[in-house]
Every structure is written in C-alpha cells, then in structure tokens.
Structure 1
C-alpha cells in the first residue's frame, strides 16, 4: 500500500492542486452519486488566491487522496468553523479522512456530508461529531401549471443592475438571512465572484421594489446545464424578503415570478435548497409543488 504522507495545509492552491482537487471530487461523485463539495468551496478552490480558510490535502505517495476545506473561524460563532471533506474512492479506509479531521484542529467545528450516507454518519460518530443540521434539495416539474400569485399592491419586479444594486442587495440579504450561518454573511467579493461565473444572468435576478425603488425582496435564479441523465435545471438560487419592509405574500409571488422566468426560458425542472428546520419556507415550497429530492447533513462537534 502506498504510504500516506502528512497532511499539508495551504491558504491557496496551485493550478495543479486545483486540478487534483476537482478530479478527486469528480471521482467521488461518480462512485457516490453525489458531488462532495458545495458551490462555495468549489469557487474557493478555483479562485487561485488566498482564501479566508484553509485547504487541507492528504497524499498517498504523490497522489492526492483526500481533501478538506475549513472556513475561517468566527470568534462570535460558538458552533465553530464549517468545512467539507472528501476522500478519493481508491484511498478510502486508509486513514485519510481521520488525518484530515486531525489537521483541522480541535474544538467546535462542523462538516457537511452531501447525501445522507450511512457511511458518513458512522465516520462522523466515530470522530465525535453528531448530526446537527439537515439541508434538503427539493424539485418540481416546470411542465406542471404554476399558481397565479399576484404581487402585493404597490410592488413591481425588475431585474438586478450590477452597477447600482450590489450594496442594496447585500444589505437586504444580510437582514433576510440574519440567522443563516452562511448566506447572511455574504460580502461584496462573494457576490462579485458569482457575477463573474458563466451562469450569471441579470435577467434571472429579480428584484421586488416599491414606487420609490426601495428593495423589498428578491428571487435570484440559476440555470445548471444538462449533465448525464439530468436535464438542464433552473434553481431558486436565493430567495429573500426584507423583514424590515415585509409585504404579505411577497415571498410566494417572487417564487412564482422566478419559476415563470425559468419556464419561459425552456427549463422543465426546478430545484432549490432549504433547511429542514425552516418550516415556513418548506411549507411554501410544498404548496408550490416541490418535493424532497436529496438530503445533505451537517455534523457538528461541540
């Protein structure tokens, strides 16, 4: 068996390391049926610049066998930093996952497992982590009729303008997701990184405004290209309403407006991600015809 090397930590990855990490993730996805890294981590991997966090790389000889990303710690967050971890299928059960967790350090932290895999649950429990949070991916057909949900009086919808709406959107996003451990902390760099992605389309970034053009809420959609047996999918990427200026029914109206945009663009399937514990959002999406498709689990060590 190839000797396992000490885990290496880095705040940036070289071009070859980026390729190795993405190849490892693709190999894991092929075997497991679910991609092991979130969009946020993939963007940090590909950025090639110092990241607010640590990349951890475990090697078997000169081959990358395991990878983890641990976000920078927030001193105000008692749950500790969040991370993600993946081991290449060829190198599993050889200690790479345990070595990556050891390199991540001691104390409170969270790691996401994409897909509710029993093996991940056993690995987490063995290393002192308990199931703490569940994220559902829900889907619905866009070939089924959408309900008619009118906008509240005095509210209209327009598209996002990167030249004038960035900071206003960040402010509303922070208020709408004040208690969300990831979404509510987006920075201007986070927003602009996504604006630079090939999939970004302002026409699918809908803003609800009043007569004074005050931003009241938003529905940002994203289109995933067809892959394998999966058709192109239109995602409810981020949907939020400003709690400071909430209008009754605005969330449902924005949901339908974005779904109509996706259907008019020729998409036949839509998906979204929502916390299992967010009863209000789950109820809204079920009313709109969404059903659970996949489950991601966050394991926490206290």
Structure 2
C-alpha cells in the first residue's frame, strides 16, 4: 500500500446500508434476475433510440452482465418496475477481479425516456455510488480506488447528471470507422511472423499477451481467465487473428466482435475490432498493420461496409495516428467520468 493512502475501508467511506430509491418515484425496486434480460434489453434500446445513438444493446450483452463468480447480482443490480411489471429503470455496479494497480467499481444505469425528468436518474446514481463504495471497501485491496462510468458524448444530460454527483471527466475516447468500399491495403509481410486465424487453443495465450501489452496503458488492469471467458457475448472468431513468431509464441492479436443489433441503427453492417495489441519487442515492425488489414479483409469478405474500433485519445502507443493512416475516421466519442479515491 502507498504510504500516503489511508486504508481503503476508511478512504472510500462505504455506507452501512444502501437504501432503495424513494417510493414516491413511482417504481417498485428489486435486484435483476435472469428472467429480466429481455425486459432490460428493451429498456436500454428505448433509451438509445430516444437519444439517437448509433448502437443498440443486445440480450446477449445484458445476460453476460449477470454471469461470473465475482459478481453479486443480488446486491449489485437494481431494477425499477412500474405497476405493470415493465422495467423502467436499471442500475448496475461491477468490478474487475484482476485489478492490481487501481481497484475499480464500474457504474451504469438507464431510465426509460417516458420516465425521465422525475429524479429517477439522480436516485440511480446515488444508489450506484453508495454500492460502489461498499464494493471497493470489501475488495480489501490497499490500492488507489476509482468509481467510474462511461457516457456517450451525444447524451450531455447524462454527463451533467454524473458531474452533479461528484464525477469528473478523466479520459476521452473516439469511435473510429473505416469504409471497406475503399481499396484495402495488402497484409504486409513481417520477417519472423505469421498472422493466423484465432483458434481456441490460442485463446489463453492471447489473454496473457493482452495483459502484458496493456500493462503500460492508463486504466488497464489484468484480466483473469474467468473474466476473459465471460466477455465473449459478441465475440466473432472468424474475424479475429493472432500474430505468432517462429516459435509459435503470441506476439500480437486482433479480437473482433459482431454487433448485428447495431447495424440498423448505424445504417450499415460493420465489424468491430474490440482488442488490438502488439508485444513491446515487436512494436514498430508493422505487426498492428498486418493484423488490422487481415481483420478488414475478413469483414469485407463477409459483406461488411465498415471496420470500426475505439481508441483512447491519449493512447501512448500512437494508435490514433496508425488508425488515421489506414483510413479510419472519427464517427462519435465518449467520456470516462470518475471519482478518484
């Protein structure tokens, strides 16, 4: 523990109890259950439609958020139901069990557009922040702590809501896309390296490589095997590739997702590169270019119109410039807001 830090159980000031939002808000509150997946998905989609966002939450993504031994769904989720039993508000707190440098609690929530403007959003943020403090204290990790959320920049009301609750913008992200109608570059040859399709037997080696690659990236923490396995709801194996050296060791990877629910909202089908990384010893040798061009060609072969990805605007590896050189352009953006403890 850093000498200047008070014990985490003191520093995060966890409340003894986390009360439910007031009954006067007009909703009945309880934890989420697997049977709520479709209702919560529909709630999320109603909000995204009202906000004009170019993506839609899928039932598979919502279901995935209820899985994992490190999650306490009964205490870390909150669902608000109207008199008909329809979900009108939801909030969730999550953790990352592999955190080693900063222990984090992630919060998110949504309110049905027809129920906004009644104070429900403020109540959800208050509930989530209180529960996040309990989760951080219970971690027992004597590390700097962070309560964090991500907000699309097209929803300024949500940004104001979190800022009013003490959250501060700390990091900025751009969602970039590249038209696949434009001529694609050839996959460059890199001496001592071959790019191969993802295979199950390579999966854990890719996880280990990812943890190493992102060890020097702000906000990145190691992923445990279970956490890695529980993050594949939208995984597209035929669009994912691995770079191997002559000894068969993983030196780079491009992991893709297939988000078909987004396509009607965006107006086009796309492939999404969720993770891209190259081990330090191989950086500067066009390994990332080889992986991205392989990915783009796979997307195009399946009839996709765009390749998409997201990048931290302060990424230390120069990724933003790499993507721009390959023809990626900014499509929209988001902000990470946090309370640093």
Smaller-chain TM-score bracket: 0.7 to 0.9
The reply to whether residue 231 of structure 1 matches residue 244 of structure 2 is no
Cα deviation 1:136-175 (Å, max 9, x = unaligned):
111111010123451321111111221x212211110111
Tell me how many residue pairs correspond in the alignment. Answer: 296
Deviation at 1:209, TM superposition (A): 0.7
Residues 1:55 and 1:32: Cα distance change in structure 2 (over 3 Å)? same
Unaligned runs of 5+ in 1: none
2:207 to 158, 165, 170: 170
Instruction: Name the structure 2 match of 1:147.
Output: 185
Aligned partners of 2:198, 2:150: CA distance in 1, in Å? Answer: 31
Instruction: Name the structure 2 match of 1:254.
Output: 291
Deviation at 1:251, TM superposition (A): 1.2
Instruction: Name the structure 2 match of 1:32.
Output: 51
Aligned partners of 1:240, 1:273: CA distance in 2, in Å? Answer: 13
Contact 2:174 2:331 (8 Å CA) reproduced: yes
Contact 1:59 1:66 (8 Å CA) reproduced: yes
Aligned partners of 2:210, 2:286: CA distance in 1, in Å? Answer: 18
Instruction: Name the structure 1 match of 2:311.
Output: 274
Aligned partners of 2:266, 2:96: CA distance in 1, in Å? Answer: 39
TM-score, normalised via structure 1 length: 0.84
Contact 1:85 1:112 (8 Å CA) reproduced: no
Aligned partners of 1:48, 1:248: CA distance in 2, in Å? Answer: 38
Cα deviation 1:89-113 (Å, max 9, x = unaligned):
1111211111112212345511211
Cα deviation 1:232-272 (Å, max 9, x = unaligned):
11122211112255462211221112112212222221111
Instruction: Name the structure 1 match of 2:33.
Output: 14
Deviation at 1:47, TM superposition (A): 4.2
Q: Secondary structure at the match of 1:177?
A: helix
Instruction: Name the structure 1 match of 2:143.
Output: none
The reply to whether residue 102 of structure 1 matches residue 126 of structure 2 is yes
Aligned partners of 1:132, 1:169: CA distance in 2, in Å? Answer: 29
Instruction: Name the structure 1 match of 2:252.
Output: 217
Aligned partners of 2:49, 2:152: CA distance in 1, in Å? Answer: 13
Residues 1:25 and 1:77: Cα distance change in structure 2 (over 3 Å)? farther
Backbone CA RMSD of aligned residues: 3.1
Residues 1:259 and 1:216: Cα distance change in structure 2 (over 3 Å)? same
Unaligned runs of 5+ in 2: 1-22, 134-145
Contact 1:14 1:48 (8 Å CA) reproduced: no
1:86 to 90, 100, 110: 110
Deviation at 1:180, TM superposition (A): 5.0
2:240 to 176, 199, 205: 205
